Structures are given as structure tokens and as C-alpha cells.
Structure 1
């Protein structure tokens, strides 16, 4: 390996949700701005639901050990299951 070669670790599970959430927010804003409907609520409800689902999934990930997936207690510095520092 040369000095310029670097290893990058990526958490695909957590990072995958953020771009989808951003795209959904953009889609919601575009649909609302374009205003192709008299009552926007029925047209926008699926986007509201998708945003809520993605945010809940993201919150679940924050309360789980990145090493073993066990639930973490708020303020934990180490996982009670595997001992991994979080």
C-alpha cells in the first residue's frame, strides 16, 4: 500500500436512510410548492408517512449498539451485552 491509500469504513445501514429522508423532504417541498391540487393534504399524506417511518427507523439505530445491535440505555458509554464502546 502506498501512503495515499486509505481504508474507509462505511455504516451502510445508518447512512442509507439519511439520503432517502432528504429525497423525501425534497419531494414533499416540490409537491407542496407546485400546488397541483386544491386540498394538498390527501396528496401529501403518503410523504408525511414516509418521513415519519424513516425518522423512527433512524431513532432505533441510535439506540442500538453498532457492534452487536443490542438496545442501549440512554447515556451508555459501553454496550451492556458485548462491552463495545459506543
Structure 2
């Protein structure tokens, strides 16, 4: 029975290590991207393009589909025409 407990413990450590590794990879990528990626490796360019596209979407103000009014980020209804946006 103690052997099984040790096995579970080792697996938990492995899972924690995998999570930490993924976090470090993500942080490394962010640092590299934000460093203006001078002379990036060609295989990384699609990642940079996707990140840039997503960041622009997040920054773009949301507009009411009915009247085009710029909405506040947390808006449920348009403040101009009352259209329910969520």
C-alpha cells in the first residue's frame, strides 16, 4: 500500500513539473514577443502574426451591432439605442 502512495506522489510531482514547464514556456514566448522579436526564426512568424491579431482584437473597442455606438467593456445594453449586446 505504501508503494502505491509513493507512485501517486511521484505522478503528482511530474504533473506539477509539467505545469511549471508549460508556464515557463509561455513566459519565455511572451518575453520574446514583447522584445520586438528582432530577427525571429521563420517558424515562429505564424505565432507572432496570431498573437498580434488577437492583441488587436482585444484592444479594439466593441461597437453596438445595431447603431455602431462604442460600448463600454462591461456593457450588457447599448447606452445609445438600448440594444442588448449580451
Q: Would you call these one fold, judging by a TM-score over 0.5? A: no
Q: Which has the higher helix share?
A: 2
**TM-score computed with the length of structure 1 as normaliser:** 0.37
Structure with higher Rg: it is 2
